[in-house]
């Protein structure tokens, strides 16, 4: 009896493995692999051009142009003008921008409440940095124009919504008690946007452009070496599994999520992959668009993947970063605020797409 019971699970595993091998063997690799390879090559070329142009734009100060809008938000939020400088800095360097806000708080210029408002207002400008360096050059080429633009626009709307929430909170909750005007804090912009004092300004601008192109080319090479191999591996694997109809077997296990979010089971592995890597998650979604997933479903899948990402990134990045900037106590408050707002607004966007 013991031998029979022990043999049953082994037979089940062997039978499942045999069925999986037969399913994979039935895939028309002569059609699937060239099609997937062609798509990967096209996406890689688009990413190459996009990443280079994005890095060049950043080197030439495009992010700072967007951050210039910050001055229209600090006033209504009852925040001092120095916070606008911190926001500009955040658009170029998150660490430097948060470091400036930490200095304002530690010096007594901002109260804890005013600092939390400033952190919230910062959200859209932190997103603006990633638009130039990640979303436009990487995510849109992977997802395609329609899905990619819709997803990036949705994430931009979420970030803007959080920023405007911060402005509203500052208008309603902050008073003179939260801002100590007697404390003078020196600020320094993240980049030098001043005039050219050299005798030959044209030659200097030309040299700056050459330096920007060189920096952009160097940054592009490093990013492509990280992204393209991962993209190719994930895209080819998902294409094969989709052709083998392997995602249908997930329907039972994924039932609760599919029922709540109105998503097919094929969306579940993409959401899981997001927990480990955003680019790989996008590459998992891309081959399914138009077949297993509609454009709206693909965007919802990406948004839900973003929520899953928060759980992992909190431990990998947010806790070390925020604790290093603010200390454990206030850092925990910042993490809780950021995560809560993002989850609430992303959930609202998901509901918007599903209604």
CA distance 212 to 58: 9
Q: Does residue 25 belong to any structural domain of this protein?
A: no
What pTM value is reported for the model?
A: 0.70
Q: Does residue 125 belong to any structural domain of this protein?
A: yes
Q: Are 57 and 134 in contact (CB under 8 A)?
A: no
Task: Name the domain count of the chain.
Answer: 1
Radius of gyration of the chain (CA): 24
**Per-residue pLDDT tens listing for the chain (355 residues):** 544 444 555 555 555 556 556 666 655 666 767 777 776 777 677 666 656 665 666 566 655 555 556 667 788 999 887 788 777 777 777 777 788 888 888 888 899 999 999 999 989 888 887 887 789 888 998 898 899 999 999 999 999 999 999 999 999 999 888 887 776 555 444 444 444 444 444 456 677 677 767 776 776 676 677 667 766 776 677 667 666 655 555 444 444 555 566 777 778 777 877 766 788 888 889 888 888 889 999 999 889 888 877 766 766 677 777 888 888 899 899 999 999 999 899 999 998 988 7
DSSP 145: H
Q: Does residue 208 belong to any structural domain of this protein?
A: no
CA distance 124 to 131: 10
Q: Does residue 48 belong to any structural domain of this protein?
A: yes
Domain that includes residue 149, residue range: 31-176+228-354
Q: Does residue 26 belong to any structural domain of this protein?
A: no
Helix (H) or strand (E) holding 207: helix 201-243
Number of H helices, E strands in the chain: 17, 0
Q: Does residue 41 belong to any structural domain of this protein?
A: yes
Q: Does residue 280 belong to any structural domain of this protein?
A: yes
Q: Does residue 328 belong to any structural domain of this protein?
A: yes
């Amino acid at each position: 009896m013991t031998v029979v019971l022990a043999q049953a699970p082994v037979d089940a595993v062997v039978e499942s493995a045999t069925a999986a091998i037969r399913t994979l063997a039935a895939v028309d690799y002569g059609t699937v692999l060239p099609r997937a390879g062609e798509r990967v090559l096209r996406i890689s070329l688009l990413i190459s051009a996009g990443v280079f142009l994005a890095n060049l734009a950043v080197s030439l100060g495009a992010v700072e142009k967007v951050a210039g809008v910050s001055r229209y938000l600090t006033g209504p939020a009852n925040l001092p003008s120095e916070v606008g400088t911190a926001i500009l800095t955040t658009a170029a360097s998150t660490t430097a921008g948060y470091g400036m806000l930490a200095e304002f708080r530690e010096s007594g210029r901002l109260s804890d409440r005013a600092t939390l408002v400033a952190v919230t207002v910062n959200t859209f400008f932190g997103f603006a940095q990633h638009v130039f360096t990640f979303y436009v050059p990487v995510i849109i080429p992977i997802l395609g124009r329609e899905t990619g633009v819709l997803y990036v626009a949705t994430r931009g709307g979420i970030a803007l919504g959080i920023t405007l929430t911060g402005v509203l909170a500052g208008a309603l909750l902050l008073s003179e008690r939260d801002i100590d005007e007697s404390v003078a804090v020196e600020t320094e912009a993240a980049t030098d946007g001043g005039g050219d004092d050299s005798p030959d300004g044209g030659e200097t601008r030309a040299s700056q452009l050459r330096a920007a192109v060189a920096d952009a080319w160097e940054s592009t090479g490093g990013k492509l070496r990280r992204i393209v191999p991962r993209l190719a591996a994930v895209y080819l694997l998902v294409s094969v599994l989709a052709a083998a109809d392997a995602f249908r077997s997930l329907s039972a296990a994924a039932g609760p999520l599919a029922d709540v979010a109105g998503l097919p089971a094929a969306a579940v592995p993409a959401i899981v992959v997001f927990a480990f890597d955003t680019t790989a998650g996008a590459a998992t979604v891309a081959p399914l668009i138009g077949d297993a997933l509609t454009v709206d479903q693909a965007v919802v899948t990406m948004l839900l993947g973003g929520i899953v990402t928060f759980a992992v990134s909190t431990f990998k990045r947010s806790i070390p970063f925020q604790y290093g900037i603010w200390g454990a106590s206030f850092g925990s408050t910042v993490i809780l605020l950021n995560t809560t707002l993002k989850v609430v607004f992303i959930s609202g966007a998901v509901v918007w797409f599903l209604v």
